[in-house]
Amino acid sequence: MSTWTVPGYTESLELGAGASGRVVLAIHEVTGVPVAVKYLSESLHTRPGFVHDFRAEARLLGGLDSPYVAGLYEYVESPDGAAIVMELVDGLSLRAVLAGQGPLDPEAALVILKGSLLGLADAHRAGVVHRDYKPENVLVTPDGASKLVDFGIAVDTRTRAGVAGTPSYMAPEQWRGEPASPATDVYAATATFFECLTGRKPYAGDNIAELALRHVDAPVPVEDVPEAVRSLVRRGLAKEAAGRPGDAEAFVAELEAVAGTAYGPGWEERGRGRLAALVALFPLLLPSARTPGRSATDTARTVLRQPPGRGRAQAWKPTGPGMLAAAAAVLLAVLLAHAAPPDSGGAQERAAEAFATTSARPEVTSGPTAPSPSASPTAGTPGASASGPASASPGGPSATATGPGPDPGTGPGTDPGADPGTEPGTGTPAGAPTPTGTPSATPTDTSPAAPAVKDVTVSEFRQTGPTTATTTVTVVTDGTGPVSIDLRWSVGDTAGGPGTPDGAGQVFRRSGATEYTVTAEHVFQNLGCYWTVTATTAPASADGGASQQLLTRRCDLR
Q: Is the four-CA dihedral 203, 204, 207, 213 of positive or negative sign?
A: negative
From the candidates 90, 132, 185, 298, give the one annotated as an active-site residue. Answer: 132
Chain centroid to CA 413: how far? 13
Q: Where are the alpha helices (DSSP H) in 227-361?
A: 230-236, 248-263, 267-280, 320-339, 347-353
Q: Which of 190, 203, 202, 193 is nearest to 236 (CA)?
A: 190
Q: How many angstroms separate the CA atoms of 269 and 399, rounded?
A: 28
Q: How many angstroms separate the CA atoms of 68 and 146, rounded?
A: 7
Give yes or no for a contact between 141 and 91, defined as CB atoms under 8 angstroms apart: yes
Reply yes or no on whether 132 is catalytic: yes
Q: Which of 75, 124, 51, 19 is nearest to 407 (CA)?
A: 19
Q: How many angstroms separate the CA atoms of 268 and 144, rounded?
A: 10
Contacts of 84 (CB under 8 A, 6+ apart): 37, 38, 54, 57, 58, 61, 72, 74, 75, 402, 405
Q: Where are the alpha helices (DSSP H) in 458-527?
A: none
Q: How many angstroms separate the CA atoms of 365 and 219, rounded?
A: 34
Between the CA of residue 178 and those of 72, 356, 506, what are the distances in Å?
A: 29, 18, 43
Catalytic residues: 132
